[in-house]
Amino acid sequence: MKRLTSKELDAIRNRAEKATDNYWYHSEGIYVLTNITGDLYEWDGDVVAECEKEDDAEFIAHAREDIPKLMSELEFYRGIVFDLGNTIEQWDCDEPMDKADYVSAVIDIERKCQKIVEEERKSLGLLFCEECFEWYRPETSISNQLCASCQDKVEMEVNEWDELDDYAYIDYYYEEDDEE
């Protein structure tokens, strides 16, 4: 598949902007509706599309929201590429670059890349483990501060300390008996 040109992207954006502006629903399997009025038992709406398959109706109904979101995401990443390209072009000159300028440009690119990664991790809902300093999915751990493997390590350490405490209590108890 070839890359989209700016002209093609503008055409997609224009089609999305010209489409009916309200939320689209797929109903009764094959219909895509908008401007729905009424209640659960008696309602009316404008038909956007009638499809042969329910999956097609669901796809079309979601396109009203999905296409603008995808366009926004694409613009975000193209902006990043543009910014990084500008930073790299600053290096690409006939004059030798001194070390300070080179280091500054590298640090600038690194910061931009870190910002991208951090925004992506947040958009994916990832959390940062305070123990191993890695990112993890919250559904893989019962803690909001530790990943599952670090959580397991902490639990093992706690259990070991509990066992030690039990032994310390037993030792203390027997020492008292010896003194009597």
Whether 178 is in a domain gets the answer yes
Measured between alpha carbons, how far is 165 from 172 in angstroms, rounded to an integer? 10
- The domain in which residue 178 lies consists of 125-180
Count Cα atoms within 13 angstroms, Cβ side, for 98.
2
Whether 156 is in a domain gets the answer yes
Whether 154 is in a domain gets the answer yes
Whether 86 is in a domain gets the answer no
Beta strands in 39-128 (DSSP E): 43-50, 127-128
For residue 144, give the 3-state DSSP assignment: coil
Whether 176 is in a domain gets the answer yes
Whether 113 is in a domain gets the answer no
Whether 42 is in a domain gets the answer no
- Number of domains observed in the structure of the chain: 1
> Tens of pLDDT along the chain (180 residues)?
788 888 998 999 999 999 888 888 887 678 888 888 877 677 778 888 889 898 899 999 999 889 998 888 888 878 877 777 776 666 655 566 666 776 777 788 788 888 887 777 777 777 777 788 777 777 766 666 788 888 877 777 666 665 555 555 455 455 555 555
Q: Which residues contact 106 (CB under 8 A, 6 or more apart)?
A: none
Helix, strand, coil tally for the chain in percent (to 5)? 60, 15, 25
Whether 40 is in a domain gets the answer no
